[in-house]
Amino acid sequence: MRLLIALLVALIAVPALAQEQKLTANEVVELAITEAIRPGFARFAEEAGSLKLNVEALGATPSEATLETARNQFKSAVTAWSRIELYRIGPLMAENRSDAILFWPDRKGIALKQVQGALAEADQTAASAETLAGKSVAMQGLGALEFLLFGADSETLAAGADFRCKYAAAIAELISGRADEMSAEWADPAGFSKRLLEPSASDPDYRSTREVLEALTGLLAHGTEAIRDQRLLPFLGRDGAAPKPKSALFWRSGMTVPSISANFEGLKALLRDSRIAEATSPDQQWVGQSAGFEFGNAERAEKLVTKPVEQAVGDPKQKKALDYMVIVTQSLDTILGENLAAALGLSVGFSSLDGD
Amino acid sequence: MWRRRAFLKAAGAGFAASLLPRRAAALERAELVFASSVQKREGGYAAALVTEAGDLVSSVDLPERGHDITFSPTTGQGVVFARQPGTFAVIFDPSDGTPPRTLTSVEGRHFFGHGAFSPDGKLLYATENDFENARGVIGIYDVAGGYTRIGEFDTYGTGPHEMLLMPDGETFVVANGGIETHPDYGRSELNLETMDPSIAFIERRTGRLIGQLRLEAGLHQLSIRHMAFDHRGRVWFGCQFRGPSADRPQLVGYATQDGEIRLIELPETTLGELRNYVGSVAASADGGRIGVSSPEGNTILAIDPDTATVVASLGLENGCGIAPDSVGLLASSGDGALGGFAGSPAPMTTFELNFDNHLRLLKAV
């Protein structure tokens, strides 16, 4: 049925698009940077900056209201992060930033143990950004901050829990600093963007525009795989196993599904705003249409999941919607990892996509 | 609780059914026959036997993506292992039309894609993941007992990948890649900060650790994955680097059972072409050439193990599989190419299928 719809969409869409000039690879790369990546990182920097201010305000004036504001801003920052966290290239991958902002997967709950340890001991080295930066990355990111703001005893923040609040502020400061650095690096015309826009034989990673295009296509394909293997399946359970909602990322703040939604949105934005599918030949334009169709399916499924994740997995209709999102990622794997790559004439194939 | 996938319906659609008429002829003419896991162009996965002349001899369908294939030295039976974190291994007989059979990993284990037979062909060994404990094991299977699993040995590390039987027939060498994975998280790598790759020499009959070699501590993110023996019995290995992509550590080295381990010095430009990723390692028939491949960098190299220098290189898009013929090496690619280099006269041919990472020469039994 999906194939049939994809074909129908293709039949309708192709004649109009075929008239347009095919986009060049370089135009696609430029659009990806200017329309999707830079705005995404700029927004995350802005939200992370507000989070830092709000957590500081909570420390300065502890109250129900300032705690509420900090919690809400945490959610906004998570959404902004989730939109760009799958752009795993360049600034995000430098200096261990990706792990430091979000240590995940964390199957053994290392972050939780370390945060609880720091709280129990009132470890002063966790209470300033400068010393926290030298500690385990699992203690420095959004997962740790979520526990401080939403986990057991977090209500004490409203009554002026001094150490807990200082630790939270230190994390927020580190996240904000890293977000600013990444946004600045992406914005710098002589920085990483230049390597993508002007690939050269001497560049260790990007020798040609084709390799840049392969990297962008790889972000899309690996992104859908990450949503499935690192976000959905760890708590939904594989092959009919019982769900484990407490293995979900951000379950304490109720951000599990909103974060996954933002992951899909980030990939959709990269696909749409780079117009990468328009760099294919006219008879291959259906690939972009069918990817758009699947992203639409993901959005519809996300809207059905209205309860917090612990309850959603126990509600047959909402569980079904979550399971359906897994299927969408599988379809997107094929469309983005195989069909789009093939339509672009890339060798993001089989053995180099991720080998063994 | 994680459970194994119900995949059996797809397995073994029939080896006999897919035999092509030229098969018998190719085998009888004593042409060289190679085996590889493949992706079919029409979709789906298989293990295929092909000749260097470009003929598809036969194939057996697989439920999911396969990885390496190993052959019994006595019966010639082949075993293709699932790519990690797969849970199947399919046993087939290239010499007749016996229907293939499927082996399933036991509860709490999955395959890593590689394995080896004992010299007498009575036991099959496979690298497996004890994923709840992030511990590598060698699963032991009794061939005469219908490939029942009769035990396991430790690999003394996490994430074992390729294992080989040393020329003495009594010692295994195992590449512990050092990367922790758990099927709940697909192929996601869970311990990049604390990786501890090693090469372990293990007694085949007892599982006792004879010796274990590690690269220097600064190279703990260099995952040791694939190996082959040179003519002096040294173990050549290829690595994949999981640290910052801007770094370019050396990726190829050798180890000996006497306790020596070193990385050779590949020139910077050559190293750049490997893109921090060696996908397979294989030796020529006389052990005088070591092939290493990088499908990421579309490059295949032949190294002279005596001088530790590159003596031939081949640019091959998505090239990864390497196997010897009588005089040189053949390489295969994810785009279906197969051809010789480093002394092999085999012309480049293209198949209507995509070769997976490993190519094996089928030896006459």
- Tell me the two tokens of residue A125: 């080295």
**pLDDT tens for residues A223-236?**
999 999 999 999 99
Pairwise CA distance, residues B288 & B274, whole Å = 21
Would you say residue A353 lies in a domain?
A: no
Would you say residue A168 lies in a domain?
A: yes
- Are residues A261 and A173 located together in one domain of the fold? no
Handedness of CA A93, A99, A105, A108 (dihedral sign): positive
Q: Give residue B363's pLDDT.
A: 80
Q: Give residue A17's pLDDT.
A: 44
- Are residues A15 and A134 located together in one domain of the fold? no
- Are residues A188 and A45 located together in one domain of the fold? yes
Q: Which residues of chain B make contact with A234, given a CB cutoff of 8 A?
A: 184-185
Q: Give residue B12's pLDDT.
A: 37
Name the residue among B39, B67, B190 with its Cβ closest to that of A107. B190
Q: Which residues of chain A make contact with B84, given a CB cutoff of 8 A?
A: 356
Beta bridge partner(s), residue B102: B90
Nearest to A200 by CA among A214, A215, A211: A211
Last residue of a domain, one of A165, A196, A227: A196
Neighbours of A15 (CB within 10 A): 10
The lowest-confidence range among A88-102, A228-242, A312-326, B192-206 is A228-242
Ramachandran region of residue A129, left (φ > 0), alpha (ψ -120 to 50) or beta?
A: alpha
Q: What is the mean pLDDT of chain A?
A: 92
Give the list of residues 6+ apart from residue B180 with CB closer than 8 angstroms, or none.
B134, B158, B159, B189, B190, B191
Q: Which residues of chain B make contact with A225, given a CB cutoff of 8 A?
A: 186-187
pTM of this prediction?
0.90
CATH homologous superfamily for the domain B8-362: YVTN repeat-like/Quinoprotein amine dehydrogenase (2.130.10.10)
In a structure prediction context, what are the per-residue pLDDT tens digits for chain B, which is 365 residues long?
222 232 333 333 334 334 444 454 555 555 799 999 999 988 899 999 999 999 999 999 999 999 999 999 999 999 999 999 999 999 999 887 789 999 999 999 999 999 999 999 999 999 999 999 999 999 999 999 999 999 999 999 999 999 999 999 999 999 999 999 999 998 899 999 899 999 999 999 999 999 999 999 889 999 999 999 999 999 999 999 999 888 999 999 999 999 999 999 999 999 999 999 999 999 999 999 999 999 989 999 999 999 999 999 999 999 999 999 999 999 999 999 999 999 999 999 999 999 999 999 998 76
- Are residues A15 and A65 located together in one domain of the fold? no
Q: Give residue B25's pLDDT.
A: 54
What is the tally of structural domains in chain A?
2
- Are residues A237 and A161 located together in one domain of the fold? no
Three-state secondary-structure class, residue A114: helix
Taking residues A25-53, what's their average pLDDT?
Answer: 98
Range of the domain at A91: 35-196
Nearest to B225 by CA among B314, B293, B153, B302: B293
Task: Please give, rounded to a whole number of angstroms, the shortest distance from the CA of A70 to a CA of chain B.
Answer: 30
pLDDT at A183 over 70: yes
pLDDT at A3 over 60: no
Q: Which residues of chain B make contact with A355, given a CB cutoff of 8 A?
A: 277, 279, 295-296, 320, 357
Last residue of a domain, one of A196, A229, A249: A196
**Do the chains contact at A349 and B1, CB–CB below 8 Å?**
no
**Do the chains contact at B188 and A204, CB–CB below 8 Å?**
no
Q: Angle B299-B304-B308 (CA atoms, 0-180°, nearest 5)?
A: 90
Nearest chain B residue to A225 by CA: give it. B186
Q: Which residues of chain A make contact with B248, given a CB cutoff of 8 A?
A: 204
Task: Estimate to the nearest angstrom the gap between the alpha carbon of B28 and the chain centroid.
Answer: 27
Pairwise CA distance, residues B164 & A242, whole Å = 38
Taking residues A183-205, what's their average pLDDT?
Answer: 95
Q: Give residue A348's pLDDT.
A: 55
**pLDDT tens for residues A264-275?**
999 999 999 999
- Measured torsion, CA atoms of residues A207, A211, A215, A218, in degrees rounded to the nearest 10: -150
- Are residues A209 and A334 located together in one domain of the fold? yes
- Are residues A179 and A39 located together in one domain of the fold? yes
Pairwise CA distance, residues B192 & B241, whole Å = 10
- Are residues A227 and A302 located together in one domain of the fold? yes
Name the residue among A105, A230, A352 with its Cβ closest to that of B296. A352
Whether A134 contacts chain B with CB within 8 A: no
What's the complex ipTM?
A: 0.85
- Are residues A209 and A192 located together in one domain of the fold? no
Would you say residue A355 lies in a domain?
A: no
pLDDT at A8 over 90: no
Q: How confident is the model at residue A352 (pLDDT cuts 50, 70, 90)?
A: very low
Q: Give residue A79's pLDDT.
A: 98
Handedness of CA A102, A108, A114, A116 (dihedral sign): positive
- Are residues A59 and A125 located together in one domain of the fold? yes
Q: What is the CATH number of the domain that holds A155?
A: 1.20.1420.20
- Are residues A84 and A166 located together in one domain of the fold? yes
Q: Give residue A22's pLDDT.
A: 84
Q: How confident is the model at residue A349 (pLDDT cuts 50, 70, 90)?
A: low
Distances A331 to A6, A238, A298, A339 between C-alpha atoms, Å: 12, 17, 11, 11
A114-132 as b/e: b if 16+ CB within 10 A = bbeebbeeebeebbebeeb
Coarse DSSP helix, strand, coil percentages of chain B, rounded to the nearest 5 percent: 5, 45, 45
Last residue of a domain, one of A178, A196, A214: A196
pLDDT at A345 over 90: no
Pairwise CA distance, residues A12 & A284, whole Å = 13
**Do the chains contact at B184 and A234, CB–CB below 8 Å?**
yes
Task: Decide the pairing of beta strands B337-341 and B171-176.
Answer: unpaired
Whether A356 contacts chain B with CB within 8 A: yes
Nearest chain B residue to A334 by CA: give it. B43
